[in-house]
């Protein structure tokens, strides 16, 4: 079987030199909890990692699409869409993507004096499913903020900030109910379309079909489509695509993600298709949109 550690299409990851991390570990605001390495791997077929002697850091793996597996305590566990695990330090483990439905994962290595406080009490994966209270996209946005900040980690102040954000990011997994209920009111009293749109927004990185949408809300596809279009004037899938393009505009204007990375993040398997859809809806290509937006910034984005 083919096995690959890195080198996947659309992957992103950042690490800092161990010597620099060692110096940072002596500072309380960093040393209590800090990132060693962070990344995003989309649909990474043949992904495989084995640590026979364990490592000196913990690892969070958050699967948002597809599936994979991991071995821990001599037992194999499946890790599926909308599930996560935190692999503890100093224990042998291995993990990899499913051959037929390879996972898309957000992941990071973390260390620090407080590492043990952010470990799971059991080895099995936990689920974080979208619902009326979920904040899945806010969690992903926080990941991107940490990722971008950590990329500037050679500057001490950025490293401090990334460490401070890491507390909230890890807490959003370990204390899910508190993270959800502290902000969002119940949407059950809202119009039907508002609940559907919220669900769409929480799943912008996926390719949701009309059947999947209608099944989640316990309607037939035809009746679901009729109800949604009656309230919005737009078909569900058309609305979902427009939400994706709206999010793409935010990524283009506010981040330095490459256009093909934005396409991958929003569930477009082919960048060329993403460009066609974006141009059709916005009346301008993604690259032209970025150029236009960058003219209003103090610095250019990398394309």
Residue 2 confidence (pLDDT) above 80: no
> Same domain, yes or no, for 118 and 216?
no
What is the total count of domains within the chain?
Answer: 2
pLDDT value at position 119?
97
> Is residue 5, in this structure, part of any structural domain at all?
no
Residue recorded with tokens 């390879």: 102
> Same domain, yes or no, for 107 and 149?
yes
The half-sphere exposure of 277 on its side-chain side, counting CA atoms within 13 A, is 22
Query: 151-179: per-residue pLDDT in tens?
Result: 999 999 999 999 999 999 999 999 998 88
Joined tokens for residue 172: 């959003």
Residue 229: Cβ within 10 Å count: 15
Percent of the chain with pLDDT over 90: 74
* Closest-CA residue to 163 (of 56, 14, 15, 30): 30
pLDDT value at position 297?
57
What letter does residue 165 receive in the DSSP assignment?
Answer: H
How far is Cα 179 from Cα 171, in angstroms, rounded to an integer? 8
**Among candidate residues 181, 202, 226, the one where a domain is terminated:** 181
Joined tokens for residue 240: 């979902």
Q: What is the CATH number of the domain that holds 77?
A: 2.60.120.280
> Same domain, yes or no, for 250 and 107?
no
* Band of pLDDT at residue 302, cut at 50, 70 and 90: very low
* Band of pLDDT at residue 255, cut at 50, 70 and 90: confident
- Residue numbers of the domain that contains 261: 192-294
> Is residue 249, in this structure, part of any structural domain at all?
yes
Residue 210 makes CB contacts below 8 A (sequence gap 6+) with: 221, 224, 225, 236, 237
* Band of pLDDT at residue 144, cut at 50, 70 and 90: very high
pLDDT value at position 256?
82
> Same domain, yes or no, for 220 and 269?
yes
* Closest-CA residue to 25 (of 151, 113, 115): 113
The mean-pLDDT minimum among 29-43, 77-91, 174-188 falls in: 174-188
Q: Strand runs (DSSP E) across the chain, as ranges?
A: 12-15, 34-41, 48-51, 58-65, 67-72, 75-80, 83-87, 93-97, 104-111, 126-127
The mean-pLDDT minimum among 1-5, 61-65, 174-178, 195-199 falls in: 1-5
Residue 190 confidence (pLDDT) above 90: no
**Among candidate residues 181, 211, 236, the one where a domain is terminated:** 181
> Is residue 269, in this structure, part of any structural domain at all?
yes
> Same domain, yes or no, for 168 and 122?
yes
Residue 224: Cβ within 10 Å count: 21
Residue 303 confidence (pLDDT) above 60: no
* Band of pLDDT at residue 301, cut at 50, 70 and 90: very low
Q: What are phi and psi of 142, to 5 degrees?
A: -65, -40
**Among candidate residues 147, 181, 215, the one where a domain is terminated:** 181
């Amino acid at each position: 079987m083919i096995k690959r550690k890195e080198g996947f299409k659309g992957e992103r990851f950042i690490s800092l030199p161990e010597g620099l991390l060692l110096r940072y570990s002596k500072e309380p605001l960093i040393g209590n909890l800090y990132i060693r390495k962070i990344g995003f791997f989309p649909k990474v077929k043949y992904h495989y990692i084995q640590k026979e002697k364990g490592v000196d850091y913990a690892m969070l793996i958050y699967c948002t699409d597809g599936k994979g597996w991991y071995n821990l305590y001599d037992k194999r566990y499946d890790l599926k869409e909308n599930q996560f695990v935190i692999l503890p330090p100093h224990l042998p483990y291995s993990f990899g993507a499913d051959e037929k439905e390879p996972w898309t994962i957000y992941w990071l290595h973390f260390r620090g004096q407080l590492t043990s406080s952010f470990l799971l009490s059991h080895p099995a994966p936990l689920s974080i499913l979208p619902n009326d209270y979920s904040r899945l996209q806010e969690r992903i946005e926080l990941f991107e903020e940490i990722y971008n900040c950590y990329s500037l980690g050679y500057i001490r102040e950025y490293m401090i900030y990334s460490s401070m954000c890491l507390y909230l990011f890890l807490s959003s997994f370990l204390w899910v109910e508190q993270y959800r209920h502290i902000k969002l009111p119940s949407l059950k009293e809202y119009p039907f379309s508002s609940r559907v749109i919220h669900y769409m927004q929480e799943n912008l990185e996926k390719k949701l079909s009309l059947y999947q949408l209608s099944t989640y809300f316990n309607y037939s596809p035809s009746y679901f489509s009729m109800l949604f279009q009656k309230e919005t004037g737009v078909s569900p899938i058309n609305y979902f695509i427009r939400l994706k393009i709206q999010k793409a505009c935010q990524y283009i204007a506010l981040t330095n993600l490459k256009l093909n990375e934005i396409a991958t993040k929003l569930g477009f398997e082919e960048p060329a298709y993403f460009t066609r859809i974006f141009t059709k809806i916005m009346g301008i290509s993604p690259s032209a949109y970025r150029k236009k937006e960058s003219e209003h910034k103090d610095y250019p984005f990398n394309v």
